Amino acid sequence: MTPITYLQDMWQLAIDGQTQGLWFWITLYAFITCTYSLIFQFRTRTWPSTTGELVALGVEKIGGKEPVRSNQEYLIESLYSYRVADMEYAGKRISPWIFVASHNLKAILEKQLSSIQQLPDGKVKVFYNPNNPKKSYLIVASKTGIAITFLISTLPLALYVYSYHG
């Protein structure tokens, strides 16, 4: 069976609502998106850093005031300044991933804030893209985050192969 024939067969199985076809396409999608994410995570871990000054940082409500507290959504808002090669830049990104959390999960955002590297002089460590210094983050992927992304990309694939071809 050729790869093209296999893809066509999986497409037909998915259209027919068969588990194998659906699992194949979901697994392939997860593998491709997580592989892209892994490449990006490895790239940002190699970015140089500089010191910056926090202008604003906090967990903010978004949207209107919700009558039910658990429906209220939050995200991290930040503003910081930093210098690269005698050029002043302003950044607002904490990390490459934007997390929106409900009131019940607001602690996740507060935990993310604790990952910002505060320096003894009150400044923060800013990671910037050496090819485009105006793109910056205060947090880059950890080894744990990379490992989790790797597992999310490979575990479904391994289970698929084991279940249908093992």
> pLDDT band at 38, cuts 50/70/90?
very high
Instruction: Please compute the mean of the pLDDT values over residues 113-118 and round it to a whole number.
Output: 90
| Percent residues over pLDDT 70 in the chain | 99
Instruction: Please compute the mean of the pLDDT values over residues 100-115 and round it to a whole number.
Output: 86
- Distance, CA of 92 to CA of 35 (rounded, Å): 26
- Distance, CA of 34 to CA of 150 (rounded, Å): 7
Instruction: Please compute the mean of the pLDDT values over residues 81-97 and round it to a whole number.
Output: 94
Residue 162, SS3? helix
Instruction: Please compute the mean of the pLDDT values over residues 32-60 and round it to a whole number.
Output: 94
DSSP 94: S
Token pair recorded at residue 95: 């990390």
> pLDDT band at 61, cuts 50/70/90?
confident
- Give bridge partners of residue 51 from the DSSP assignment: 125
pLDDT of residue 71: 80
pLDDT of residue 66: 66
Q: Which long-range contacts (CB under 8 A, 24 or more apart) does 96-103 make?
A: 96/40, 96/41, 96/44, 96/137, 96/141, 99/75, 100/62, 100/73, 100/74, 100/75, 101/73, 101/74, 101/75, 102/70, 102/71, 102/72, 102/73, 102/74, 103/69, 103/70, 103/71, 103/72, 103/73, 103/74
- pLDDT top residue among 98 and 12: 12
Backbone angles phi, psi at 92, to 5 degrees: -135, 0
Assess whether pLDDT exceeds 80 at residue 68. no
Q: Which of 40, 45, 112, 103 is nearest to 77 (CA)?
A: 112
Assess whether pLDDT exceeds 70 at residue 11. yes
What is the residue-averaged pLDDT of the chain? 92
